[in-house]
Amino acid sequence: MRRGVRRFPLVLALCGLFLAPAAPVRAARPLPLPPPLPLAALYDNAAHTDLDGAGNALPADDLAAAGWTPGRELNVDGARLTWPRRPPGAPDAPDAPDAPDAPDNVRAAGQAVRLGGRGDALAFLATGTAGTTVDGVGTVRYTDGSTSGYRLTVPDWRTGPLGAKALAVAHIDTPGGRIAERARLYVVTVPLVRGRAVASVRLPLAPDLHVFALAVREAAPGWTGSWAASASGLPAVGPWTDRTLRLVVHTSAGGPRVRLRFANPFASAPVRIGAATVAPRAADAVARAVPVPLSFGGRADVEVPAGAQAVSDPLAFAVPAGADLLVSLHLPGTVTSAPSHTLAVQRSYLSEPGDHTADPAGTAYGTTVTTWPLLTGVDVGGGPGAVVLLGDSITDGDRSTTDTNRRWPDALAARLRAQDAVPRYGVLNAGISANRVVGDRYPGDGVSAVAGGVSAVHRLDRDVLAQTSVRTLIVFEGINDVRGGTTAAEVTAGLREIAGRARAHGVRVLGATLLPCGGSARYTAAMEAERTAVNAWIREAGAIGTFDGVLDLDRALRDPAAPARMLPGYDSGDHLHPGDAGYAALAESVDLALL
């Protein structure tokens, strides 16, 4: 008891400390967040000296050799991004020399970046240094005070897929010296709320994610994509020295103005176009009228950096719908390889030495080429926008009659032009022969005879989302995957990713079932089971909303008496590709209202 009595006053005293009225405490005001700053003012890492924190760096001379020089504007995937040049302390000194160790990128740590513009996407020129894919969430703030969230996923600079990169340089500078290893830079886009003006962007909290440049990718009001071709690889050519290419392309939509898109993906060096013209075609390489010169930023010539594109200035030129154009480009230097669409199913022409872009006659064009090098798009003024067909050799038109434009996208475009029930959309062919949904046939870097392109998953941004005024995507791929041993689950996972990414960007997505191919090379019962499973998933995905609709092309061409085979009248003879009649039937089966 005495011990208890001795402790009691202490207990009361302690209770008094806790029970006594406390002096009023004023709540601390939260510290204000730093105001948004231009990205260059936030740079905190120098890629040329130590990108990853371990002393490994991007060689400045390799970047310069690719045309990625300090301050250079790069058009990649439809976005205008500037390769860094100014140290943060001198934003208003454009002529100041760049310090070799000046910061040129920011480690993403939640910084607020001041940015302006309206568009369909944010484009990040970025890379990761975690040894694996890096991702994080960020926020876009608009001028009206509203916000939207985004998730940014960026591959690693040393281990990421070459098929998805914007540029790979040949070396890495290490503390022990230069090594021959490909260092990758990526352009990754995330969707914006269309119509709202961007005020700022808060970066993710992911310090191993390095951002070099950031831009709003502007939409293209007033333009419609009329023709397109996807680069399927980087083959060796010629060499071509002081030669002119005259490429034959077939429009879908027409309009009173034109602009052309040239691209240099997969390359490691720039390509120079000395002059370019456009003309209506009469026959072969002969123009119907004097070719009209194109300009690029007011100049007749343009250098296209590795991994980038060039878009010509708008030109008042009446583009007829459903007609052939001649696009001529002079290559004044020596070109030993060129990004190309290999299966053109169309003859084009190569000249004798000299700039023959302005020649209306075809006499200088003595050599035939069966590819489309460098040219990736023709846009026309006005119009309702475009439908893009992402596919393989069946969309590419393999086994259709050469020089007749009987691919099924051409037949679909003809149907659209001949009706008034729905808008007369442009139709853009993003088919690549031998292409797959998952798995790159062409590795995505370097000169190669392989022309199957990078996977649909890896080329979605470049070949679909960056197309001019794309409204609807038709995904018609997967047969090469299952013929090559890929499981239905892997194919459908890729299709689900494509649909999700495209729909997040505001693009309507239609899934198309895979055609029967019984009797074709490599056809087996196991492969047929996988094809059937993919088709069942596509039909179900349309019903549950993964796709906005389904085109049952399998049902349109299969033989009712032998559903694993194509109807003989539609078969080109190899039991895999339709012939001209089969391609026409594919286009005829499309419910145009779904577009």
DSSP output for 203-245: PPEEEEEEEEEEEEE---TTEEEEEE----B--EEEEEEEEEE
End-to-end Cα, the chain, rounded Å: 91
Report how far residue 594's alpha carbon sits from residue 526's, in angstroms, rounded to the nearest whole number: 33
Report how far residue 394's alpha carbon sits from residue 476's, in angstroms, rounded to the nearest whole number: 9
In 3-state terms the chain splits into helix, strand, coil percentages (rounded to 5) of: 20, 35, 45
Report how far residue 370's alpha carbon sits from residue 54's, in angstroms, rounded to the nearest whole number: 48
| Cβ pair 223, 469 in contact under 8 A | yes
Where residue 478 falls (left for φ over 0; alpha for ψ -120 to 50; beta otherwise) is left
- Residue 34: predicted pLDDT: 80
**H/E segment holding residue 113:** strand 112-114
Strand partners, 215: 123
Question: Which of 561, 560, 553, 541 lies closest to 578 in space, CA to CA?
Answer: 553
| pTM for this prediction | 0.92
- Residue 2: predicted pLDDT: 34
- Residue 12: predicted pLDDT: 28
Strand partners, 58: none
Which residues of the chain, if any, have pLDDT below 70?
A: 1-32, 86-100
Please give the sequence-ordered ranges of beta strands (E in DSSP) within 440-587, or none if there are none.
470-476, 508-512, 549-551, 558-559, 562-566
Report how far residue 592's alpha carbon sits from residue 595's, in angstroms, rounded to the nearest whole number: 5
Report how far residue 581's alpha carbon sits from residue 572's, in angstroms, rounded to the nearest whole number: 9
Report how far residue 455's alpha carbon sits from residue 185's, in angstroms, rounded to the nearest whole number: 18
| Cβ pair 81, 123 in contact under 8 A | yes
At position 398, the amino acid (one-letter code) is D
CA angle 315, 316, 320 (to 5 degrees): 105
- Residue 31: predicted pLDDT: 58
CA angle 79, 83, 85 (to 5 degrees): 145
- Residue 29: predicted pLDDT: 59
Beta strands at 470-476 and 386-391: parallel, antiparallel or unpaired:
parallel
- Residue 90: predicted pLDDT: 38
SS3 580: helix
**H/E segment holding residue 276:** strand 275-283
SS3 426: strand
